[in-house]
Structure 1
Amino acid sequence: MSTFMIAGLQLNLVNNEDNFYRIHQQVVSAKKRFAQLDMVVLSELATFGAAPRFAQTMPGDAEQRYCQLALENNIYLVTGSLYQRIDDKVYNTCSVIDPNGEVICRYQKIYPFLPYESGISSGNEFTTFNIPGVGCFGISICYDMWFPETIRALCYQGAEVILHPTLTNTIDRDVELSICRASAATNQCYMVDVNGAGEMAVGKSIIVGPGGEVIHQAETNQELILFEVDFDYVRRVREQGWQGLGQPLKSFRDKQIEFPQYHEKLSASALSKLGPLQKPGSRILDSSEN
């Protein structure tokens, strides 16, 4: 099968509240309307919002509800993410569930949005999965994408489509759209970037093809984004270049140099002068200091 139908759900959800019933309605509606739908992708932390107090062990109740939802609708379901508790640590974790209602993989966000996503531990494994007869998918969450090495690592492992749930409600969303396009072009992959909307985030989800071309960019309201991944196309782009042009993955494979940032100590580099990773302080002087 060369093509695979995905729906990204950019939903108006409520922070610090159980949104599962809203998500359930939209998933059921999407499958009922589009019988050919193969996969649904949710936004980061869609179920409860950015609230670590909702962290659960996995398997757990929230994940199990998604397993049942995937089974009932015969789809692959990407949960966006949930906060996962393991002993005394909390991770930002995305689960991928198959049409049989089975969890086939979990990915723990490698780059929590520090210093703001405080108290969340970093994962340490890149996660890809194969759908037999279809292709290879990689998982990335929100801030991960700001580090080009993360998408390159997934493509190095064979990923042809990057599923990228995000939760952005800040002015840098436009920058993220550029990063999505650049990541797709430099790695010759699809980028499926699904943001939340409403109270939780600013929307503007984006789907990008392996030449960096925009397949669809959402506005700020709730939207079901249905599109078709063409695996023959992405493989042709990787072999011949987009529009017969650059072949960056082959050039990276055949590189003749070693990048210094990967074999030298970062503590000894110019980056050591940047100071600690912490929230910026106020620049307004107290009146008593004047």
Structure 2
Amino acid sequence: MASLGVAALQLAAGSTGNLELVEREVRAVAKRFPWLDLVVIGELAIHGASVDLAEPAGGETEQRLAALAVETGLWLVPGSLYERRGDAIFNTTPVFNPSGEVVARYDKMFPFLPYEAGVEPGRDYVVFDIPGAGRVGIAICYDMWFPEMIRTLAGMGAEVILLPTMTNTIDRDVELSIARANAAINQCYFVDVNLAGDLGVGRSAVYGPGGDVICETGAGREIIALDLDLDQVSRMRHRGWQGLGQVLKSFRDSDVRFPLHETVGARRQVMQAMGPLEMPEKERKEPTEDAADEGADRKPRLTIID
């Protein structure tokens, strides 16, 4: 049976300076659950959301994470780090194997613009194989709002998709519905791990290849340790969930064209009327001439109560 032991750590992190916390938590979960293969934590968990703390690839933080992977014997997906390359900064997830080697490096394709300003988008999809288990895909937070991206990872054979997340806003409910839908329509495990504490509202979740709810957490520190049955992914993709929709095969066999996706220029032309991607401003409504006159004629009223 093909299985993957995964721990998703929803850490109660401070706004920055969380490397020692990550090291303690990974060591603790490795000791408590010796059957684990892989540990994943939330987006930007270690240094927080400041691009001023960006490091080059292979910097001090990565060196300590590599040593942690060797020490624990785990595959390590340490959320993400802001990584500096020349004059550019990327939101990057390095993937460490148990030998401490970086076997993959994923750059977030959809920085959370206009808020995540100054971060370059990635260009390459990333999947990696864990020997004896299966194939894992990586996306980061806002990436999952773009179904074309998650479908591509599934098309590349990903049986489990890991989504390090840092969400501290009111749209977490919507994100969970999107995460669950992504699991169902791509017939894969979907592991969406958020942060708690100063950086996130928690509520991490794991969904199965039928869109089934495996785990949904609360708002504080929580550890999700699961033994994922990857044979179930193959079965779902072959037979459908409960013998129902065989979604990926239907997509494969269809001759439907998607003109919007055929070129970058096509979608830009169709969606141009939406205007530029920029920070929303406070809306100010200019009073009409009639409204201004009406306001001028209005006199205060005095109500006397005996």
Displacement of 1:228 after TM fit? 1.2
Q: Residue type matched to 1:163 in 2?
A: L
Q: Deviation digits for residues 69-122 of structure 1, max 9, x if unmatched?
A: 010001000011000000000000001101111111100000000000000000
The residue number in structure 2 matching 1:11 is: 11
The residue number in structure 2 matching 1:266 is: 267
1: CA distance between counterparts of 2:204 and 2:160? 16
Q: Does structure 1 retain, via aligned residues, the 8 Å contact 2:4–2:134?
A: no
2: CA distance between counterparts of 1:280 and 1:273? 16
Displacement of 1:18 after TM fit? 1.4
Identity %: 49
The residue number in structure 1 matching 2:304 is: none
1: CA distance between counterparts of 2:79 and 2:31? 21
Q: Residue type matched to 2:280 in 1?
A: P
TM-score of the pair, normalised by structure 1? 0.96
The residue number in structure 2 matching 1:276 is: 276
Displacement of 1:266 after TM fit? 1.8
1: CA distance between counterparts of 2:18 and 2:131? 32
The residue number in structure 2 matching 1:121 is: 120
Structure ID, larger Rg: 2
Q: Displaced runs of 4+ in structure 1, greater than 4 A? A: none
TM-score of the pair, normalised by structure 2? 0.91
The residue number in structure 2 matching 1:209 is: 208
2: CA distance between counterparts of 1:166 and 1:32? 25
The residue number in structure 1 matching 2:22 is: 23
1: CA distance between counterparts of 2:268 and 2:224? 43
Displacement of 1:249 after TM fit? 0.2
The residue number in structure 2 matching 1:247 is: 246
2: CA distance between counterparts of 1:99 and 1:266? 42
Question: Is residue 2:150 matched to residue 1:162?
Answer: no
1: CA distance between counterparts of 2:136 and 2:27? 23
The residue number in structure 2 matching 1:184 is: 183
Q: Structure 1 residues 277-286 or 162-171, which shifts more?
A: 277-286
Displacement of 1:272 after TM fit? 1.3
Q: Residue type matched to 1:53 in 2?
A: D
2: CA distance between counterparts of 1:68 and 1:263? 44
C-alpha RMSD of the superposition: 1.4
2: CA distance between counterparts of 1:79 and 1:86? 19
Q: Residue type matched to 1:142 in 2?
A: C
Q: How many residues align?
A: 286
The residue number in structure 2 matching 1:72 is: 71
2: CA distance between counterparts of 1:275 and 1:218? 38
Q: Residue type matched to 2:182 in 1?
A: S
Q: Residue type matched to 2:100 in 1?
A: G
2: CA distance between counterparts of 1:62 and 1:104? 16
Structure 1 segments unaligned to the other structure (5+ residues): none
